[in-house]
Amino acid sequence: MIRDVKLEDSKAICDIYNYYIENTIITFELEKIDSKEMENRIKEISNKYCWIVFEEENEILGYAYIGLWKSREAYNRVSEVTVYLKKGYDRKGIGTKLLKELMNRAKKMENMHSLISVIAIPNEGSIKLHEKLGFTKAAYYKEVGYKFDNYIDVECLQYIL
């Protein structure tokens, strides 16, 4: 079931996200975050945009949100989308359901024109997910992140609403 995030979800969301911080290049954060920090992020994003979770049998298996793309006012019709799944729950359709729901909600937002997904490369699963739902390649940045003693490329995919 997909539902809006609650502050009480912050621990489960931290557990999902901290795995990616510690073990992958998917996020460029380098230090684990705690539930209080996640609560602050949930409040900030939910106040203006949208944050949802996928829950099954009272367990959060994934989450997704629409957030700020860039802070300059001229960008205010474009937002960034983010999707994370609990380790071991990829390729079960959860990411597709979450991203579809975000896209549907974005279409209902006033003045929302475009969604951007920023993906650290390599990440074939995320690229395929976004392309399957109509996102197209918009930019490729070489060696813009540095994690685990390696430079990391980033690809941006875009969906025009």
Residue 110 has pLDDT above 90, yes or no: no
CA torsion angle 58 47 44 114 (round to 10): 100
Report the chain's mean pLDDT, rounded to a whole number.
96
Give the pLDDT of residue 141: 98
Give the pLDDT of residue 47: 87
Determine the Cα–Cα distance for residues 45 and 111; give it in Å rounded to an integer. 17
Determine the Cα–Cα distance for residues 158 and 86; give it in Å rounded to an integer. 24
Span 122-127, mean pLDDT? 94
Give the pLDDT of residue 103: 96
Residue 129 has pLDDT above 90, yes or no: yes
CATH number, domain with residue 23: 3.40.630.30
Both structure tokens of 92: 């079960």
Q: Minimal CA–CA distance to 81: which of 111, 56, 101, 61?
A: 101
Burial class (CB in 10 A: 0-12, 13-18, 19+), 93: exposed
pLDDT tens, position by position, 42-99: 999 998 899 999 999 999 999 999 999 999 999 999 999 999 999 999 888 999 999 9
Q: Is the dihedral of CA 158, 83, 81, 154 positive or negative?
A: negative
Total domain count, the chain: 1
Give the pLDDT of residue 90: 86
Give the pLDDT of residue 91: 85
Query: Which range marks the domain in which residue 75 is found?
Result: 2-160
Contact between 97 and 54 (Cβ < 8 Å): yes
Q: Provide the residue count of the chain.
A: 161
